[in-house]
């Protein structure tokens, strides 16, 4: 298997902070290309010690930088971009997490507005041991340390939004963006509806791991060395981002309130299952009701994200998007075996 | 190990439809007693064929019958009732699921009120194969059948509410009730705050399996033969139901909107982890943010239910509620070995 | 006009704290009877000075006492109870309001659970001048005092719930209860669906005035001398409480999230308008969209309450509930002229 | 009084569909300038008869055109733009309203996703009588017609968003946009935080009148001849749009769920009142709790809008934004007297 492999390692001033908005793409690739890229962490790498409070070292809106956009040749509105994640590896031997004033699920925010003072701003620095596959949680005020397994993922991945809109990179919506779901790990293919020529793929916000909901507002944030393979399906654009791995089909929804995110993701999964299995939609509704999973993505961003998952073994013989996941899985295996 | 084992097999007219409300308990037991009991399905066993539409054969408010209440001797307000589920087995070789007018997550309801006509009322009958451990999904309008693994659970388990309140059995709230989480399976211990003398435990709404969210409104509904062991911890009443199995600590929250259910469950888990590990609450917030799971319980009942889960391996040395789960696990093992 | 007038002045130990739950009614009346009654304030009269913090002087669940239940002879499930408020007058020359830990719309609560400490608990005592028709706001920490006009209302009015349920008096739902809408003032008729024989009407939680939403959690709370006339319409039970005054028809909805309360109230109003005017439901939807008002009731109680209002002048010739409001208005006028 | 008066009457191809996004402003004005402008209706004027179903004659995303942007000289990020509405008059003798598939508060939508087919798409054409000050509602399927008073307003008014974002004109948020509140009528001053040089003011979506919530999704939609006077306050940018008329101060919040929109608007009003009166924030919280109003703006757009209102007579001596409303009111009076 001959692989087309290109690299994308943006300089700090090349980082972007929005989805959409034009400007020159950082890279142009043909469908089928493997892209080795680097991403900076959500703090732009400025939070390095427990003294580096984000409100002091970071400056709005220069948060959550993304790498991209990547222009995928031939992608037109209505097409489906498939992005298969081959590998995500921490770029440094440390990562950080923080509280942030008026951000998170268990605090008053600018939108769940209250009269409370913000919670204390605190930084946690994690030691990352890539060999051992762990990151070390050190409580700031005593008590046991905990070694947590690495489970690397990207919080943010998306394309340019529809209707000429430009969204901050911290917003998740129909274009993808900052969905913050742990499901977006290596081995997963993301399907995104294309809204503009070239799709304009960007990604960032690497996490060494993240709990479901990202309840404090930030994960184990890390710069990453990431490898993806990008492919294109003509037509078939899903209304909301979909994911697939070897075991599950997944639909997402990113809106508020959280029950609407649940509704969007489940509605999409029901329709997808009906189409793949040849069921009536009420039959698919029934099957998903008994066999579907519903983990939370995030409950902290400008939209909340829910994931609806269905084991592929309950859809025998069905191949989503013409089996592109399986093909990209092979590309990924070929790449990794050659590396 | 000598076990105290009693049976509870209510006649149809002994079934109850509320939590709270007094009346004589069906059973009085000492803490430590194993109770073998039967529960009817949520339709009172009246939906048996695809012609038995619930709106024709069932009568409000005689839905979701529960078995109980069981008076636990010595239980006083402020105590903690521990209910360990030893076994849940389908009582029949069939189970049912249905849509129901204006009930479910992907339909207008009495509360998410709209101008739509209800979705079609449809019944699915599942063949239950206890030997094979499966239940068979038969689509009503063609397409592949699917064998689903049995994963039996109770949708409804709770005690009498606080403040003299009486709730329909279909309501989940701080007293437990109709939480509809797949986590309430055999091997799990449920902790409930006691509000009235004797706690007044009831349970029902057995499911052969259920997806997260119970999106169509009903699971694979079945009458069950269930075995629990009931224990009592003086004091320590949790504000919301907690669950524990060999792998996870779990907090629940049952309110609307769904993000508030998420907040309640995560807030409780953060406080619980802080207490068990000896961490400051912000340190526990951080750990849960990176290591917690957040599956949906239900998004269809009068309150929505979220579950917050933390792997116990990240809380080394900690034993919740003085290790009662481990002890009841042994009781369960002893019972099963003697059966 | 000969009026049947009876009095109800409960002793402290006769006050109730729930809707439903049986026990003997405090009073039995025939439809058409005028009832002169007294209600205690939501703190049971225990908060009298700025030193009387509610958490010190009050005891859960003995909050929000109601006067009743009143058994209305002949009321059967499915009937409609009409309660016309003739007069509400403060019983004392003072009233109080407070913050309360973890209660209110701009604070973390037990349901919108967060990690914040509660806001400070503060009491405000208002001077009530019945002659001048004012209550005096005195800021606790300086700045101008403000004379506010009296606009007396009851936060809580309802009947026994359906399905044998018992709810704390602080809960608003389909049975009425703690709706906390400023619309429930003198001159207004409330329509409630009857769930149990005799309806079992109770009311309380008098407010000298209240902003829309009751954002801090409490209004200008006062014991009241109130006069109502009670009437009965056979059948026609509305699903949710409705209100009528000389100018408006009003539907209510009390659920969470707030948009669902909006949906319930608007859905009911659309159906009601269609029925009264003889319009198709989509035509009524259109008219309400252009002519309806939507003030908030409360955003602080266990359910949130929205009111949907339609000016009666846009429904020419229509008389809701057979014109009972106009008749009870006359009864009220006759009573007031004779007093 | 010498008034600077300019006109802005865009051609169809000059209409915009976003806030933000650069491009040349249509007009540049000095602070203090009166602008006479025209706006097209939300359907771009294409729905003219009951046969003109929006899904047939309109094309996404060419909905809800706005007139602008107007560059206000000297406006810098952090400043406050004051836009006083002097007059809004229907440009034609007809207006329209419609249902629209999966749009509105009493229907499944793309975000409150369900399995229902959409409600029927229906158009209502209103006769507008500018002399009489009425618009005539004609039910499509019989029943009484209703003359409704004109109460003209703009659903959409805003500036370029922060952080380089571009939002569709149908989105209400911190930049203003499609707030759809009936409060935005002649005599009202809108205060908007400036995010980019020149502020880039646009407006559109004129309504002959609108109910609170705009429950069916559209108001009595009309092209308008509108006159505003634009002014600039250096600094003092409010976080969310504020409104002022002769009687009320008003804060807005546009987020989901609706209780968060309520929280945002009330939180802002509490802080504003505290600042103007010199009260402690808890004292202002108390006063707003008793004296504030909370009408719904919209419950149909991509964000929901709530308005928090406080009568200015309860804030004696206070002048918001240095009394600019009173001054612009005079400008408006001078303009009208000279016209």
The CA-atom distances, in angstroms, between B20 and each of B70, B243, D29, D44, D259 are: 12, 22, 69, 59, 31
CB A186 within 8 A of CB A51: no
Q: Which residue is listed with tokens 């429904």?
A: C315
- C94 closest CA partner among C56, C138, C57: C138
Determine which of A213, A279, A309, A319 to mutate to test the interface with B (most B C-beta atoms within 10 Å).
Answer: A213
Q: Give the chain C residue nearest B195 (alpha carbons).
A: C61
pLDDT digits (tens, 9 = 90+) for B262-275: 999 999 999 999 99
pLDDT of residue B2: 86
- A153 closest CA partner among A188, A128, A129: A188
- 3-class SS string, chain B: CCCCEEEECCCHHHCECEECCCCCCCEEECCCCEEEEEECCCCCCCCCCCCCCHHHHCCCCCCCCEEEEEEECCCCCCCEEEEEEEEEEECCCEEEEECECCECCCCCCCCCCCCCCCCCCCEEEEEEECCCCEEEECCCCCCCCEEEECCCEEEEEECCCCCCCEEECCCEECCEECCCCCCCECCCEEEEECCCCCCCEEEEEEECCCCCECCCCCCCECCEEEEEEEEEECCCCCCCCEEECCCEEEEEEEECCHHHHHHHHHHHHHHHHHHHHCCCHHHHHHHHHHHCECEEEECCCCCEEEEEEEEHHHCCCCCHHHHHHHHHHHHHHHHHHHC
pLDDT of residue A316: 82
φ/ψ region of B198 (left if φ > 0, alpha if ψ in -120 to 50, else beta) reads: left
CB A261 within 8 A of CB A268: no
Q: Give the chain C residue nearest B160 (alpha carbons).
A: C166
- Residue B159 to chain A, least CA–CA distance (Å): 27
Q: Give chain B positions within 8 Å (CB) of D117.
A: 116
Contact A113 D162 (CB under 8 A): no
Token representation of residue C256:
């969470």
Name the fold adopted by C5-237+323-338: Jelly Rolls (2.60.120)
Handedness of CA D230, D233, D236, D242 (dihedral sign): negative
Q: Give the chain D residue nearest B117 (alpha carbons).
A: D116
- Residue B203, burial from CB neighbour count under 10 angstroms (0-12, 13-18, 19+): buried
CB A220 within 8 A of CB A208: yes
Percent of chain D with pLDDT over 90: 97
Mean pLDDT computed over D218-224: 98
Token representation of residue A42:
């959500």
Distance CA D275, CA B241 (A): 43
Q: Pick B106's closest partner by Cβ from D114, D117, D119.
A: D114
Q: Which residues is B250 bridged to in the sheet? A: B243, B309
Distance CA B263, CA B239 (A): 13
Chain length of chain B: 339
- Residue B89, burial from CB neighbour count under 10 angstroms (0-12, 13-18, 19+): middle
Q: Give chain B positions within 8 Å (CB) of A256.
A: 259
pLDDT digits (tens, 9 = 90+) for B55-97: 999 998 999 999 999 999 999 999 999 999 999 999 999 999 9
- Residue C188 to chain B, least CA–CA distance (Å): 25
Sheet bearing C94-98, strands edge to edge: C94-98, C123-129, C134-137, C146-149
- C203 closest CA partner among C16, C6, C2: C16
| pLDDT tens per residue across all 339 residues of chain C | 789 999 999 999 999 999 999 789 999 999 999 999 999 999 999 999 999 999 999 998 999 999 999 999 999 999 999 999 999 999 999 999 999 999 999 999 999 999 999 999 999 999 999 999 999 999 999 999 999 999 999 999 999 999 999 999 999 999 999 999 999 999 999 999 999 999 999 999 999 999 999 999 999 999 999 999 999 999 999 999 999 999 999 999 999 999 999 999 999 999 999 999 999 999 999 999 999 999 999 999 999 999 999 999 999 888 999 999 999 999 999 999 998
How many Cα atoms occupy the beta-carbon half-sphere of A226 within 13 Å?
37
How do the domains of chain D map onto residue ranges? 5-238
Q: Give chain D positions within 8 Å (CB) of A164.
A: 17-18, 21, 61, 166
Distance CA B276, CA B283 (A): 12
Q: Give chain B positions within 8 Å (CB) of C268.
A: 113
Contact C115 A106 (CB under 8 A): yes
Whole-number CA gyration radius for chain B: 19
- D154 closest CA partner among D266, D81, D53, D65: D65
Residues 197-256 of C with CB under 8 A from B: 239, 253, 255-256
Residues 252-281 of C with CB under 8 A from D: 256-259, 262-263, 266-267, 270, 277-280
Contact D119 B119 (CB under 8 A): no
Distance CA A8, CA A230 (A): 13
CATH number of the structural domain B5-338: 2.60.120.580
CB D239 within 8 A of CB D253: no
Contact B113 C260 (CB under 8 A): yes
- Residue C293 to chain B, least CA–CA distance (Å): 18
Chain length of chain D: 339
pLDDT of residue A150: 98
CB B272 within 8 A of CB A192: no
Distance CA A179, CA A194 (A): 17
Q: Which residue is listed with tokens 């309860």?
A: D314
CB C168 within 8 A of CB B175: no
pLDDT digits (tens, 9 = 90+) for C262-286: 999 999 999 999 999 999 999 999 9
CATH number of the structural domain A5-238+321-338: 2.60.120.580
Q: Which residues contact A303 (CB under 8 A, 6 or more apart)?
A: A171, A172, A173, A254, A255, A256, A261
Mean pLDDT computed over B242-253: 98
CB C224 within 8 A of CB C94: no
Residues in chain A predicted with pLDDT less than 50, given as ranges, are none
Chain length of chain A: 339
Contact B112 C168 (CB under 8 A): no
- Residue A121 to chain C, least CA–CA distance (Å): 13
DSSP single-letter state for residue C160: P
CB C138 within 8 A of CB C185: no
Q: Which residues is A248 bridged to in the sheet? A: A311
Band of the pLDDT at B317, cuts 50, 70, 90?
A: confident
The CA-atom distances, in angstroms, between A167 and each of A172, C267, C286, D168 are: 9, 34, 34, 11
pLDDT of residue C316: 81
pLDDT digits (tens, 9 = 90+) for D278-320: 999 999 999 999 999 999 999 999 999 999 999 999 998 889 9
CB D213 within 8 A of CB C262: yes
- C314 closest CA partner among D147, D166, D292: D147
Residues 29-68 of C with CB under 8 A from D: none
Q: Which residues is A250 bridged to in the sheet? A: A243, A309
Q: Pick A260's closest partner by Cβ from D112, D263, D282.
A: D112
Q: Give chain C positions within 8 Å (CB) of A116.
A: 107-108, 114, 116-117, 119
Superfamily per CATH, domain D5-238: Acetamidase/Formamidase-like domains (2.60.120.580)
Chain D adjacent subunits, 3+ CB pairs under 8 A:
A, B, C
Token representation of residue D31:
């602070």
What mean pLDDT is reported for chain C?
97
What value, to the nearest 5°, has the Cα angle with vertex C213 and ends A305 and C55?
Answer: 95
pLDDT of residue B90: 98
- Residue C122 to chain D, least CA–CA distance (Å): 8
CB C21 within 8 A of CB B166: yes
- 3-class SS string, B39-71: ECCCCCCCCCCCCCCHHHHCCCCCCCCEEEEEE
Classified as helix, coil or strand, C335 is: helix
Q: Which residues is D158 bridged to in the sheet? A: D176, D202
CB A249 within 8 A of CB A272: yes
| Helix, strand, coil percent values for chain D (each to nearest 5) | 20, 35, 45
Contact D267 A164 (CB under 8 A): no
Mean pLDDT computed over B222-231: 98
pLDDT digits (tens, 9 = 90+) for B227-245: 999 999 999 999 999 999 9
pLDDT of residue A69: 98
pLDDT digits (tens, 9 = 90+) for A298-307: 999 999 999 9
């Amino acid at each position: 298997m001959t692989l087309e492999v290109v690299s994308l390692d943006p300089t700090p001033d090349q980082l972007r902070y929005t989805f959409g908005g034009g400007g020159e793409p950082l890279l142009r690739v043909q469908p089928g290309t493997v892209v080795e890229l680097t991403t900076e962490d959500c703090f732009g790498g400025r939070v390095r010690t427990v003294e580096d409070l984000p409100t002091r070292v970071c400056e709005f809106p220069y948060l959550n930088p993304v790498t991209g956009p990547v222009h995928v040749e031939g992608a037109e509105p209505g097409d489906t971009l498939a992005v298969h994640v081959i590998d995500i590896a921490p770029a440094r031997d440390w990562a950080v997490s923080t509280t942030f004033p008026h951000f998170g699920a268990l605090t008053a925010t600018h939108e769940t507005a209250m009269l409370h003072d913000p919670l204390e701003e605190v930084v946690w620095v994690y030691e990352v041991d890539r060999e051992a596959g762990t990151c070390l949680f050190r409580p700031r005020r005593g008590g046991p340390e905990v070694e947590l397994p690495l489970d690397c993922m990207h919080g943010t991945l998306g394309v340019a939004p529809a209707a000429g809109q430009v969204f901050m990179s911290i917003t998740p919506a129909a274009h993808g963006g900052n969905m913050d779901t742990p499901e977006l790990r290596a081995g997963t293919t993301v399907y995104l509806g294309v809204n503009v020529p070239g799709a304009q793929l960007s990604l960032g916000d690497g996490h060494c791991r993240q709990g479901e909901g990202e309840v404090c507002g930030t994960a184990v944030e890390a710069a990453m060395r990431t490898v993806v393979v990008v492919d294109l399906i003509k037509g078939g654009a899903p209304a909301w981002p979909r994911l697939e791995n070897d075991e599950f089909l997944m639909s997402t929804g990113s809106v508020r309130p959280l029950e609407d995110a649940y509704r969007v993701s489940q509605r999409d999964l029901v329709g997808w299952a009906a189409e793949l299995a040849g069921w009536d939609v009420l039959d698919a509704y029934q099957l998903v009701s008994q066999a579907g999973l519903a983990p939370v993505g995030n409950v902290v961003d400008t939209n909340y994200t829910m994931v609806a998952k269905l084991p592929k073994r309950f859809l025998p013989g069905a191949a989503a998007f013409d089996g592109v996941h399986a093909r990209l899985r092979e590309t990924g295996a070929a790449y990794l075996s050659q590396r």
